[in-house]
Structure formats: structure tokens, C-alpha cells
Amino acid sequence: MTLAAPPQRTDAPEDDVRALFKEARRRRRRRLAALGCLLAALGVVVGLLASSGGAPPKRPRAAPQGRARPPSVVGHVVLRGDGIGRAAFGQAETVAIAELDEVLGRPLDDESTGLAGNCDFDSATQWRTISAYFFHDRFVGYATVSLKGFLLHSNANTLDGLRLGDPLTRARLLYGDALTTSTAQGGSWSVTTSTGTLAGLLTSEVDQTSPRPRIEDITAGSVGCPAASP
């Protein structure tokens, strides 16, 4: 009788299992190595921050700004119907003088001149090119110097660009029909603007062609008793 040979044992399945375990161990080692590198880098960053005093401070938010004040450039004088620059009619005398000092410099006298008895002001402060008038300690008017009496190149101008010494034709070009003229006091002018009335004298009669009438002075507000017409 012939006996059948016993089935031979094969190692293929065991080899596959061992290979799978080896591959799993390799992957685990790679993951651990990557995690170690990440932790090391994080430690370096934390150390740098600690040595420099922590994280950089956040930029503070810009504080909300209020309404910007009008620019005030020394030497450039803006003439309005209700004041000069930031000096406005109705302000206290000390406040108005401080604002005028910014564009006009120091006044000729340290104290206002008392002028009691005038129609609509009782004191005045004089700068080189402008006089400011006050009534009951309030700013009420101003007048530039006279072009006739003190020839100079004035750096003052109205909001629309009219300057002392400009020809009347330029004033008419700037203000159109809003500008009115008169023969009073040898020639005068006035115009109502968005900030109030500007007025003044002319260097010659309104209809004179040689010499041409020019803006002799610029005034606004209370500047004394009304002059009598000729």
C-alpha cells in the first residue's frame, strides 16, 4: 500500500504578514520623525518670541478725527464777510485776536485802543495791514489799510480771489451782478457773498477810465459811523 505524502507547509502567507508589519513600522517611524521635526520647529518659534518679549503689539486703531479746522498759513489772509481766517464775528475779543495773530503776526500795540463814542465799536487793534474792531469785547468788523495811503502788495484776498489794488473790472468779473458801485465818497463798492457783505472804497470814480478805478480797501462788519454821501 502506497501512502500519500503529507501536504507541504508553505511560508508565503507568513512572509506577506511580516512584510505588512515591517511597512507599518516604517510608516509609523516616518510619522514620528515628521512630528518630532514639527515640534522642534514650534519650540524654536516659541523661544524666539519669548526672548523678544512676546508677540509684536497690534497696531492701534487710528483715533477718530473730528472736523478739520480751516488751514491757517501765516502770511496768507483770507477775508470773509463774517471774519478773517478763523477769526469770526461774535467771538470774544481775546479769542479773535489770538486767531488773527496766527495769520497777521503780532499787532502794532499790545493792547486794543479804546474808541468809545463810535457808532458800532468801542475799541480796535491795529496790525500792519488790517484793523480789527470790537464792541463790548466782541469781534464785530475789520478794514484793510487804504491803498492810497499805504501802497503795498497785499497778500490778503477774499474767498473768491479779490485783492487789494485789483481793478474794478476784475471785481465785476469775480462777482458779476452781485457787485454794486456808488459815487459816494469818490467811488465805493459792495458785494453780498455767502459769508456776508464785503465793501470798500475805490481809488477813483466808478466811470473813470484813466486812471482806472481800483479796489482801495476791503471792509466787513462794523467799521464806524456811515459816511455822508457827497
What is the structure's pLDDT at 73? Answer: 38
- Looking at residue 72, its pLDDT comes to 36
pTM (2 d.p.)? 0.63
CA distance 184 to 97: 32
Choose between 35 and 110: higher pLDDT: 110
Q: What is the pLDDT of residue 194?
A: 94
Domains and their CATH numbers in the chain:
77-221 (2.60.460)
CB-based contact 200:189 (threshold 8 Å):
yes
**What pLDDT shows up at residue 34?**
60
The pLDDT confidence band at residue 193, using thresholds 50, 70 and 90, is very high
In 3D space, the residue among 94, 77, 29 whose CA is nearest the CA of residue 218 turns out to be 77
Tens of pLDDT along 97-129?
999 998 888 888 876 777 766 677 888 999 988
Report the alpha-carbon distance of residue 132 to residue 121 in Å, rounded. Answer: 10
Given this model, what pLDDT does residue 200 score? Answer: 95
